[in-house]
């Protein structure tokens, strides 16, 4: 089956502008624009009227388009000025940020033609390309910039109920094909298919004529108007699963008294807070009825709101912000890291772009790769050497890193330099680093600090990881000669590829050489000197705390097989970088978990490639404030512990757990097949990723033809021997008995961040973006297991 990408991409249709017919309902405006004052806001009024702007794709592709905000205040509509009705739309919720001025490569390329104050860029979520625009005047540009920022802020501040109202309104608009503000039976039947509900013609007609129109069609018109549609939707979305839980704890079946709610929090949710205070807080925050609030009670609507909120989600809100000790040495943290950061696609012919660095840094990445080669006019360039990938200027990369390094996280960024430049251009690199980054570039050791500094020590600093002449001791004791150049063993990815490449002899002969380094560039390297790895024994005796070794994934796996405990011990003292095999020309990723099991800190992934690898990375680093640093378990930080991921039962403090997950139901799963009559047959797979003995997966049965409100009540149990390292991945698929199942959605998080009890899991797309209101409803229990005598 092919995935339906209509909600994720700009799509062309052959309809007139739906905002010009005046039929968008008042309730729709009120619900989606909750808290949004349109009257008196000149920016939004201007957007509603519409504006002609230039859409820019390159220096040679600059075309005028008519843009306008729809009356729902959540959709932007645009079309060509030329004859014809083809138009495109995108949702405000798809826009992650607005950049003013020449802040994209495309707009920089036309900077001489259009002034910065008329230019802006809409940055979309996920891996979708930017939209670069030039307004006719500064005033029009500012209207759209300020208006879009207000719309985005409004969406971000919406509660769960308002988000659901917005989704209902979107459905109404899609289903109302003839735009008359009403839905007839055919439109309602088509809507059901759109919502992943399978219903035969006869049964659907009986339901709507006998039940729906009796109960919902108050206007007696044989159609559903907007408010009637809301009632119809509520009839369809009765949550029997939640009602059962509610009634189990409700003394009168109508409401939860404060005492009832306290019992629920204590017995089911296993909340650790003051139950009385917590219950009061939940009633105050989520209960919509003022009458119930006066009684210190929660109605079923309030219960729904609570369990649909972040407090009712599977991810523990206490672990969202920075909660870990950030004062330990860098080598004690897992560090979110990118490989070939400059690439937007594959490694053979893909586009190189500064945008790759901006996107990675904005996702909390703290280590980016810069692959440097000699360029024209004495300017170093960045690209994937000896391939057909496009080239960008090194100074533009440094500028982007300097600008975006600390927008999302204040903790240090590591620039992993792969240096193929001549001495002359290395000096130019050093000049750019010093001039552009200024005080952000770490040039000297920290006063009074022996050993690797901590993320806290290095806040706001950018570190260079590269080869270096001599060591820190010599550099800062004045022992380095005043020569302009030096030599270092060539230890970088190109040299390492020979272990993974079929053309081994030619690669080895071509790149295994001594490399000349400029002193200026060498002096920019302080705590991250790239060195060649000989053996764990050699490292134990001779290595310095500031030395960093790099391995391909295959080399790292070999060390894991041969000496896992030694590998963990090595990583308790110094940094290690692991990167994808040279065979991965499609920029695919390995599963980073096996490298985290060895305590490898800088596990570099292709951020541009969606899939399991990036799901795992996003999941691990979703905790601790998305700051890009996660503290390793104590048994991986202390050299004396000698943790062996192959034999976890031998560690001190070994405490296995039983993870029990009851998958209860799903809500409004997205349609994945473009065929109109296709309905999802969903199943849920739960995967445990961790030390080898913990790797496991189990599935629910599939539910035929129901992606709207499937119910399973299937229970899955896992024994987890090293819960501190375990990641849990929930994957929803559309079952297909004749071919591979289609991906529907996923959610990945550390076991240590899971909340117990009844929880919602808000699903993410393949790109890692939200797909509201799609969710799973589950019950979670984590119980200690008596230490077994053996792991048979």
Mean predicted confidence (pLDDT) in 406-427: 97
508-524 pLDDT, tens digit each:
333 445 678 999 999 99
CB 652 within 8 A of CB 641: yes
pLDDT at residue 468, rounded to an integer: 94
CA atoms of 161 and 34, how far apart (whole Å): 11
Please give the residue that has the higher pLDDT: either 491 or 208. 208
pLDDT at residue 499, rounded to an integer: 39
Per-residue pLDDT at 88 exceeds 90: no
Per-residue pLDDT at 640 exceeds 50: yes
Active site residues: 339, 384
Q: Which of 439, 438, 447, 417 is nearest to 521 (CA)?
A: 417
- Could you tell me the two tokens for 753? 């961040």
CA atoms of 86 and 559, how far apart (whole Å): 58
- Indicate the burial class of 609 (C-beta count within 10 angstroms; 0-12, 13-18, 19 or more): buried
CB 724 within 8 A of CB 631: no
658-699 pLDDT, tens digit each:
999 999 999 989 888 766 667 899 999 999 999 999 999 999
Per-residue pLDDT at 18 exceeds 60: no
pLDDT at residue 507, rounded to an integer: 36
- Could you tell me the two tokens for 224? 């559903």
Please give the residue that has the higher pLDDT: either 792 or 444. 444
Angle subtended by helix axes 394-404 and 355-362, to nearest 10: 20
Please give the residue that has the higher pLDDT: either 149 or 222. 149
CB 671 within 8 A of CB 194: yes
Mean pLDDT value across the chain? 85
| Dihedral sign (CA 405, 408, 411, 417) | negative
Distance of CA 130 to the CA centre of its chain: 17
404-414 pLDDT, tens digit each:
999 999 999 99
Band (199; pLDDT cuts 50, 70, 90): low
| Residue with tokens 């009168």, as numbered in its chain | 252
Mean predicted confidence (pLDDT) in 526-530: 95
Per-residue pLDDT at 438 exceeds 90: yes
Torsion of CA 498, 534, 580, 441, to 10 degrees: -110
Task: Tell me if the bond preceding 773 is cis, omega within 30° of 0.
Answer: yes
Report residue 695: phi and psi, to 5°. Answer: -60, 120
CA atoms of 344 and 322, how far apart (whole Å): 30
Which residues fall within 8 angstroms of residue 249, CB to CB, at 6 or more apart?
256, 260, 261, 263, 264, 268
pLDDT at residue 671, rounded to an integer: 82
How far is CA 437 from each of CA 18, 335, 431, 692, rounded to the nearest angstrom? 49, 22, 10, 43
DSSP letter for each residue of 311-335 = TTBSB-GGGTS--S---S-GGGEEE
Mean predicted confidence (pLDDT) in 459-485: 75
| Residue with tokens 């859409």, as numbered in its chain | 55
pLDDT at residue 183, rounded to an integer: 76
CA atoms of 527 and 330, how far apart (whole Å): 10
598-610 pLDDT, tens digit each:
999 999 999 999 9
565-585 pLDDT, tens digit each:
999 999 999 999 999 998 888
Per-residue pLDDT at 233 exceeds 50: yes
pLDDT at residue 184, rounded to an integer: 77
CB 543 within 8 A of CB 452: no
pLDDT at residue 190, rounded to an integer: 76
Helix then strand count (H, E) for the chain reads 26, 31
Mean predicted confidence (pLDDT) in 169-182: 73
CB 553 within 8 A of CB 581: yes
Per-residue pLDDT at 318 exceeds 80: yes
Q: Residue 52 in 3-state DSSP? A: strand
Per-residue pLDDT at 44 exceeds 80: yes
Report residue 624: phi and psi, to 5°. Answer: 55, 45
Q: What percent of the chain has pLDDT over 70?
A: 82
CB 701 within 8 A of CB 709: no
In this structure, the chain runs to a length of 792
pLDDT at residue 223, rounded to an integer: 74
- Could you tell me the two tokens for 535? 């053996």
Per-residue pLDDT at 425 exceeds 50: yes
Which residues fall within 8 angstroms of residue 409, CB to CB, at 6 or more apart?
364, 366, 625, 626, 627, 628, 629
Per-residue pLDDT at 617 exceeds 90: yes
Which helix or strand (DSSP H or E) is residue 362 part of?
helix 355-362
Band (489; pLDDT cuts 50, 70, 90): very low
723-732 pLDDT, tens digit each:
999 999 999 9
Please give the residue that has the higher pLDDT: either 219 or 350. 350
Q: What percent of the chain has pLDDT over 90?
A: 62
């Amino acid at each position: 089956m092919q995935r339906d990408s209509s909600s994720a991409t700009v799509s062309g249709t052959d309809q007139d502008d739906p905002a010009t017919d005046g039929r968008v309902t008042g309730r729709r405006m009120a619900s989606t624009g909750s808290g949004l004052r349109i009257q008196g806001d000149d920016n939004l009024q201007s957007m509603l009227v519409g504006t002609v702007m230039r859409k820019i794709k390159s220096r040679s592709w600059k075309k005028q388009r008519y843009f306008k905000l729809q009356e729902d205040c959540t959709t932007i509509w645009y079309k060509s000025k030329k004859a014809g009705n083809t138009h495109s739309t995108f949702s405000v919720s798809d826009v992650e940020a607005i950049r003013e001025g020449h802040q994209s490569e495309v707009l920089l390329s036309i900077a001489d033609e259009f002034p910065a104050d008329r230019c802006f860029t809409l940055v979309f979520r996920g891996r979708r390309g930017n939209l670069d625009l030039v307004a006719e005047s500064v005033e029009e540009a500012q209207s759209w910039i300020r208006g879009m920022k207000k719309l985005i802020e409004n969406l971000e501040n919406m509660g769960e109920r308002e988000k659901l109202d917005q989704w209902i309104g979107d459905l109404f608009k899609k289903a109302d094909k003839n735009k008359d503000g009403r839905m007839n039976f055919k439109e309602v039947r088509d809507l059901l298919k759109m919502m992943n509900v399978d219903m035969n013609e006869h049964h659907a007609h009986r339901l709507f004529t006998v039940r729906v129109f009796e109960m919902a069609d108050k206007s007696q018109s044989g159609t559903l108007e907007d408010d009637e549609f809301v009632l119809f939707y509520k009839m369809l979305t009765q949550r029997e699963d939640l009602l059962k839980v509610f009634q189990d704890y409700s003394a009168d079946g109508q409401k939860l008294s404060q005492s009832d709610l306290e019992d629920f929090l204590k017995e089911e949710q296993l909340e650790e807070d003051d139950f009385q205070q917590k219950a009061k807080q939940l009633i105050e925050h989520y209960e919509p009825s003022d009458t119930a609030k006066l009684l210190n009670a929660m109605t079923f609507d309030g219960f729904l709101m609570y369990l649909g909120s972040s407090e009712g989600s599977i991810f523990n809100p206490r672990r969202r912000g920075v909660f870990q000790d950030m004062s330990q040495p860098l080598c004690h943290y897992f560090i979110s890291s990118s490989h070939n950061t400059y690439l937007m696609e594959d490694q053979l012919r893909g586009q190189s772009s500064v945008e790759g660095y901006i996107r990675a840094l904005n996702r909390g990445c703290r280590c980016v790769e810069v692959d440097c080669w000699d360029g024209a006019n004495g300017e170093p360039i960045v690209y994937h050497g000896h391939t057909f990938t496009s080239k960008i200027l090194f100074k533009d990369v440094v500028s982007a890193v300097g600008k975006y390094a600390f927008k999302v996280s204040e903790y240090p960024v590591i620039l992993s330099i792969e240096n193929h430049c001549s001495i002359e251009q290395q000096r130019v690199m050093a000049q750019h680093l010093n001039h552009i980054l200024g005080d952000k570039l770490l040039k000297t050791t920290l006063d009074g600090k022996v050993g690797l500094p901590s993320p806290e020590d290095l806040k706001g600093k950018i570190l260079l990881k590269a080869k270096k002449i001599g060591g820190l001791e010599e550099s800062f004791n004045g022992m380095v000669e005043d020569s302009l150049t030096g030599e270092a063993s060539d230890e970088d990815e190109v040299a390492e590829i020979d272990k993974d490449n079929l053309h081994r002899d030619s690669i080895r002969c071509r790149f295994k050489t001594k490399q000349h380094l400029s002193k200026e560039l060498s002096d920019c390297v302080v705590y991250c000197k790239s060195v060649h790895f000989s053996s764990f024994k050699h490292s134990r005796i001779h290595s310095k705390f500031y030395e960093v070794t790099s391995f391909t994934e295959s080399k790292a796996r070999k060390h894991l097989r041969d000496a896992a405990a030694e590998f963990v011990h090595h990583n308790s003292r110094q940094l290690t970088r692991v990167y994808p095999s040279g065979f991965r020309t499609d920029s695919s990723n390995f599963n980073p978990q096996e490298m985290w099991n060895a305590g490898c800190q800088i596990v570099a992934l292709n951020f541009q490639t969606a899939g399991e690898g990036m799901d795992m990375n996003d999941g691990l680093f979703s905790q601790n404030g998305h700051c890009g640093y996660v503290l390793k378990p104590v048994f991986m930080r202390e050299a004396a512990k000698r943790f062996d991921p192959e034999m976890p039962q031998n560690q001190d403090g070994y405490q296995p757990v039983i993870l029990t997950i009851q998958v209860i139901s799903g809500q409004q799963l997205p349609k994945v097949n473009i065929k109109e009559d296709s309905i999802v047959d969903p199943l849920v797979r739960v995967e445990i990723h961790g030390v080898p003995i913990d790797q496991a997966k189990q599935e629910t049965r599939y539910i035929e033809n129901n992606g709207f409100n499937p119910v399973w009540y299937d229970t899955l149990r896992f024994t987890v021997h090293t819960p501190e390292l375990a990641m849990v991945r929930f994957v929803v698929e559309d079952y297909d008995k004749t071919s591979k199942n289609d991906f529907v959605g996923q959610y990945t998080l550390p076991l240590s961040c899971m909340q117990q009890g009844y929880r919602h899991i808000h699903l993410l797309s393949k790109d890692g973006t939200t797909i509201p209101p799609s969710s799973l409803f589950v019950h979670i229990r984590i119980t200690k297991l008596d230490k077994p005598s053996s792991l048979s």
